[in-house]
Each structure stands twice: as structure tokens, then as C-alpha cells.
Chain A
Amino acid sequence: MSTQVIMAQALLGLNVGVFYAMLSLGLAVIFGLLNIINFAHGAMYMLGAFIALIGYSMLEEWFGISMEIGFWPSLIVAPLFVGILGVIIERTMLKRLYELDHIYGLLLTFGITLILQGLFSNYFNVSGTPYPGQPESLSGVLNLGFMYFPTYRLFAIVFSIVVCFATWYVIEHTRLGSRLRAGVENPQLTQAFGLNVPLMITLTFGFGCALAGLAGVLAAPIYSVSPLMGADLIIVVFAVVVIGGMGSIMGAILSGLALGLVEGLTKVIYPPAASTVIFFLMVLVLLFRPAGLFGKEK
């Protein structure tokens, strides 16, 4: 196999990997700070894509508002909407479950997923609706020397990596981040210092959901916007989180990117295994390093 082919496939793998990274990052943040396994994460991703789609092409038809929200504003509007929905879900439902076992949070968020998917598949084509709003400036292909690569995909890769590392930086290296981590480590003591821990938790959940929404907007021009787009992805993303280590921010980012690469290369070496290779690795990690590659044993 030529280097050219490997380079091309690696880049495509990275393209998938950035979506894994963005989603697993949100999951890891939520799990790390709230101890909630957010099964609704895939639905939030789907919702982000649909808000972009509806904002671009259906405001007039659905709500009689004659305006369109283009791709760039969608990058802010959609995550904001999804984040607010996250806040509402946390305030009204999830907060009642903190005292209980993880499984209750998982079941609740799974139920939310089913409701959202059901709602959207009622109104939209399950085989996907194309997102027409990809900006002119990002259309076309770039000659990278070893391959022609769509400009938009390159943008999505760079943009996602920037977002991922910015999130990591905020949580690990700023005052805000250190407060968040303190709130997780010892909520009572942190509250005694005058910090509003419940508010921090709510906003964190909102932020995690917003990240998924943002990933959804980025994915819209590449894949079709479909009610099941999140369901297809979420199981893999959970595997990514397990491999990276539950709750590890950097682990989620790096394992997301790396597993995208692994999957990409598997597609050339032995294509039928492409959809299972990640789970195979997950089993290996669970056997030999149960806390994940970057996780700490408790």
C-alpha cells in the first residue's frame, strides 16, 4: 500500500475522529463533573444538526418568519439552543436523580433520546435530508498533494480540534476550571467557600450538551441530517469514552482522534471490521486497563 493511500485514509480517519472527540469530550465533561452517563448525547448532536437545518430552510414554512440563519450564525445559535435544553433537562429532571444509582440517569437520558428521535422521525425523512447551507467559501476541494480533500471537511477538522483543546485548557488551566473540579471533588467544602455548586453543575451539563449540538452543526454539511444520526454514533462514542477513561478530558480527546484514525485505516486493511474494531479495542482495554488509557484507578 502506498504512503499516499495511507495518508489519505489517515486524514479521512481524522475527519471521523474529530466528531468522536467532540462528542466523547462532552460525555467525559458531564460524567466527570456530574457523574451522569448522558445517553441523550447522540440526540443532542442530532438536534444541533436539525436546528441548523430548520434555521436555514424551514423558518418561513414552519413559523412564518421570513429569515434564514446561515451556517456561521448556526455555529452559535444551535449549541445555544441545545445548551438551554440541556439546562432545562438538568434542572427539571436530572437533578432529582443525583442521589440514586447511575443507572437511573442513564435510563432517563435514554428515554429522552427515544422521545427526541421519535419526534424528529415523525417529521423528517429517515434516510436523511441534505443541509443546503454550506458556505460558498468552504465549498470545493483542496489539492493536498497526496489527495483532493473537500475544503469543508478540512475546516471541520481544524475547527473541532481548536474547540476540543480550548475546552481542555479551560477545565485544566483556568480559575473557572479549578473551581469546577473543586466542586466535583468535594461539593460541601466548595459550597462552604461561597461557590454556587448546583449552578456550576447545571451550566456544565448545558455546556456538554452544547458541545454535542456544535458537533451536529459541523456534521450537517458532510452527512445527511437524519433523526437517527446520533443513534448511529453514540454507541461508538461510549466505547471511545471507555477506552479513553471515564471522566478524563484529555483521554476523551486523544482517544477520539486516535480511534478515528484506527477506524479509517481498518477501512482499507479489512473493511468489514471497520465498524467493530473500536469495540474490539474496548474489550482489550477493559481487560488490561479497566480504568481506560488515561483514567485513574479509584
Chain B
Amino acid sequence: MFNETHLNLNIKHTLKGIVGAVSLLSLAAAPAFAADGKLSDDKVKIGVLSDMSGVYKSLEGPGAVIAAKMAIEDFGGKVLGKNIEIISADHQNKPDIGASTAREWIDSKQVDMITALDNSSVGLAVQGLASDKKTITMNTGAGTTALTEEQCSKYGIHYVYDTHALPVGTATAIVNNGGKKWFFITADYAFGHSLQDNTSKVVKDLGGEVVGNVNAPLGTNDFSSYLLQAQSSGADVIGLANAGQDTVNAIKQANQFQIVQSGQKLAGMLVFITDIQSMGLDIAQGLQFTTAFVWNQDDEAEKWSREFFKRHGAMPTMVQAGVYSSVSNYLAAVKAAGTDDSDAVRKQLGEMKLNDMFVKNGEILSNGLMLHDMYLVEAKKPGESKEEWDLLNVVSKIPAKDAYIPLAESACALAK
């Protein structure tokens, strides 16, 4: 017993020492702010914070790190004569882990910009925290419109897609083809609800009707019960307001129960090319959805994507391509502004026209929304596919102004 107390005292003593050392260190780090025309800490550091091990791993995850590295390489590895560094971590789809990692990166690892941030709950938590600390976030992975609406921030940019842009194209096409009555299977968290609300609005505006919905927990293995509820609702269309593995499981199991064969349509509200590849065209064929990027949409995209494939073993999803684009444009803005000071870089980003293999004529609005065209695509029939990843036909282009919430209607205080 005596020894134990002694040990405890020792630990306390050591802890005090560590705390002291850490506070000294942070004091030392504090004056590292950028003076005019200089880089803080003599480098630019990009943080890629993504789901590296869970349900969203294959659509962003390690592929996002590769995309960011490719952007840095294409930029020459240096900006304003100083090195560009990269750091990455797994947020495990947990907002608290995401936020504490971001805090550590900003406070003690000199990170200047954080990208990826798939998962809406994590995205909102990190954007809020980074804004308080005047650090730019370029969110490529999360869907919720709250990032640029109610919870918008001066330093938060939402880059690839949102839960307004996705359903607009898909739902408009389906309702106009006669799919008037909708039933939703919704992932039970911020993202799913946001997706369902926005889709419902589009459906109702076009004269359709929502006959019911069911909230399924994230990571549900067996959707058959929900699918049967959807089937008995008498809806024309079953809207899948979920993502990743959830969407794949739902579509696959709908196929087992022959739901499409018996006359109901499935509409994926957020589908990634990796999902189609995972399901196979036998099951996925004909599925319509909206995307920001198709790897073989043009020569420039295809050239980049094939290089990405060499390193990652899979073609890029729209969010992975978006990470490349966001990092490239961030670096371009740092170069143009001559500093990595967040206010100056954000101002520069707002004035640039974004043009690269991912985006054409994109612009970043005052609420942080990156306004760009979207595509309505359809999964090919198995016979039409020329190679393993040749999976999608572009049905139509959705002009940016139709896809996204207009700035004039934005609930964001910065939009006024």
C-alpha cells in the first residue's frame, strides 16, 4: 500500500512536469503567426482528416491522402519557396475525435488547412472549431447543407456536393418520369435527415407526395425489414437517404426481394462510384443518381484518374477528386496571396475562378459554398461496360445554379 501511494505521488509529480513543459512549448509556439507576406512556421501544412477504417473508408479515406499528395506534387512540393507538408488521421466518424484531432493539429502541429472531413457530424464539429481558430477547412466529404447554411463560417468551405445538390437532379428526373409517391429509408443521423428533408422538398415542389419514411440506424446490416415496409407503403419510389455500405446493402437486398422487378423504383440519394463497383452492374444497372465528377468524363479527368488508379488501385470517387482540387486551389491561393494567413487566403479563394480536372468555372461564395455544375448519371448495363471501372453514363449536366441553394436564399449570415 505504501508503495502504491508513493507511486501515485511520483506520477503526479511527473504529470506536473509534463503539463509545465507542454505549456512552455505552446507559449513558444504562440508567436508563430504570419507577418505580412510570410508563411507561418516557414511551411504550409495540409491536414487530411477522414474516415480511414470505417464505412466511408473506400469513398474518401486513404485515397484522399493520395489525392492530396498528388496535388502537392503537381504544385512542385513548394509554395513561396517553402515546403508543403501533409498530415493525415482517422476521425473514426466520431465528432469528438475529429474535433480533438483538429485542435491538436491547429494548436501544436501548425496545420494551415484541413480537408476531406467526410461524415456530416464530424464536418460540422471540425468546421466550428477551425473557424474559432481562424483555420480554413475545405470540406470535400460531408453532405449536410448546414455547413454553408445555419452553421456557415467565414473559414469553412464546402467543396464537392451537398444534400441539396444531390437530390435536385435525381429527384427531378424521377418525378418528371412519373415517380410521384416516395417512401424514404433514412440513415438516422444529421446527414440522412438533411438529405431526406431536401429531397422531400423537391418532390413536393414538383407535385409529388411523400407517403412515409423509416429511420434506420447507421451501419444497418439487414435492410429487408425496412424494404418490406417501403414495399407495403404503396410508394412508386423508394428513396435511399443514406450512403456507403448502407446504400449498397439496401440496393443489394432490394434485389434479393425483387422489389424493383415488382414495380417500385429505387433512387440513391448519395451514391459513389465505389458503391456501383461494389454492387456490380448486374444489380446496379439503371440506377440513377447525381455526382460531381465521373473519372472518365473528359480527357483531363481521365488522365489524372488513371494516375490515381496506379497508386490507389481504384478509380477516384468525386470526393477524392475533390480533395485534389481543393488542395491545388488552396495552394494556388496561398501563392497568389503571398501568405498563408487565413483571412488573406480566404479572400483570394473567393475571387478566383476554379478550373482544373475536377471543376470548370467553379466559384466559392461568401457562405463557403463552392458553386459548380453537377451531373445526373446512370449505372451502365453490364454489356455496355468496356473495363472494370467503366460503370456510368452521364445522362445530363445540372447547371450549378439549378443544383445549389442560391446565395440570395441562404440562411447563412455571411451571405447577406
Contact = CB atoms under 8 A, between A and B. Distances in A.
B176 interface: no
A278 to B, nearest CB: 12
A148 B224 CA distance: 12
B3 interface: no
A130 B252 contact: yes
A121 B221 contact: no
B225 A226 contact: no
B224 A12 contact: yes
Contacts of A121: 53, 57
Given A127-B55, A128-B245, A141 B257 contact: yes
A274 interface: yes
B217 A275 contact: yes
B396 to A, nearest CB: 27
A125 B277 contact: yes
Interface string B325-369: 000000000000000000000000000000000000000000000
Nearest to B227: A12
B248 interface: yes
Nearest to B185: A271
B249 interface: yes
A130 B232 contact: no
A127 B247 CA distance: 9
A136 interface: no
B220 to A, nearest CB: 7
Contacts of A126: 53-55, 57-58, 61, 245
A16 B275 CA distance: 24
A30 B143 CA distance: 44
Nearest to B258: A141
B280 interface: yes
Contacts of B245: 126-128, 224, 226
A272 interface: yes
A128 B249 contact: yes
B225 A268 contact: yes
Considering residues B59, B225, B228, which has the most beta carbons from chain A within 10 angstroms of its beta carbon?
Answer: B225
A88 interface: no
A12 B256 contact: no
Interface string A265-292: 0011001101100000000000000000
Considering residues A16, A125, A275, which has the most beta carbons from chain B within 10 angstroms of its beta carbon?
Answer: A125
A5 interface: yes
A9 B227 CA distance: 11
Nearest to A141: B258
A248 interface: no
Interface string A90-130: 00000000000000000000000000010001000111111
Interface in B188-241: 188, 214-217, 219-222, 224-226, 228-229, 232
A226 B275 CA distance: 13
Nearest to B59: A127
A169 interface: no
A5 B231 CA distance: 11
Contacts of A155: none
Contacts of B95: none
Interface in B250-279: 252-253, 256-258, 262, 274-275, 277-279
A176 B277 CA distance: 48
A206 B215 CA distance: 40
B244 interface: yes
A35 B314 CA distance: 44
Contacts of A271: 188, 214-216, 226
B283 interface: yes
B216 A222 contact: no
B217 A272 contact: yes
Contacts of B253: 222
Given A12-B228, A16-B222, A224-B248, A127 B278 contact: yes
Considering residues A127, A153, A223, A272, which has the most beta carbons from chain B within 10 angstroms of its beta carbon?
Answer: A127
Nearest to B228: A8
Interface string A214-250: 0000000011101011001100000000000000000
Contacts of B252: 130, 223-224
Given A121-B57, A127-B248, A150-B256, A5 B279 contact: no
Interface in A182-240: 222-224, 226, 228-229, 232-233
B287 to A, nearest CB: 14
Considering residues A15, A126, A222, A268, which has the most beta carbons from chain B within 10 angstroms of its beta carbon?
Answer: A126
Nearest to B313: A123
Q: Which 8 A-B residue pairings sit nearest by Cβ, starting from the closest?
A: A267-B225, A275-B217, A126-B57, A127-B245, A150-B256, A126-B58, A271-B214, A272-B215
Given A16-B221, A127-B245, 15 more contacts: A8-B228, A9-B225, A117-B53, A125-B58, A125-B274, A126-B53, A127-B248, A130-B279, A132-B280, A141-B258, A153-B256, A222-B253, A224-B249, A274-B220, A275-B219
Interface of A: 5, 8-9, 12-13, 15-16, 117, 121, 125-130, 132, 141, 147-148, 150, 152-153, 222-224, 226, 228-229, 232-233, 264, 267-268, 271-272, 274-275
9 contacts: A125-B278, A126-B58, A127-B59, A128-B278, A148-B257, A224-B249, A224-B278, A267-B226, A275-B219
Interface of B: 53-55, 57-59, 61, 188, 214-217, 219-222, 224-226, 228-229, 232, 244-245, 248-249, 252-253, 256-258, 262, 274-275, 277-280, 283, 314
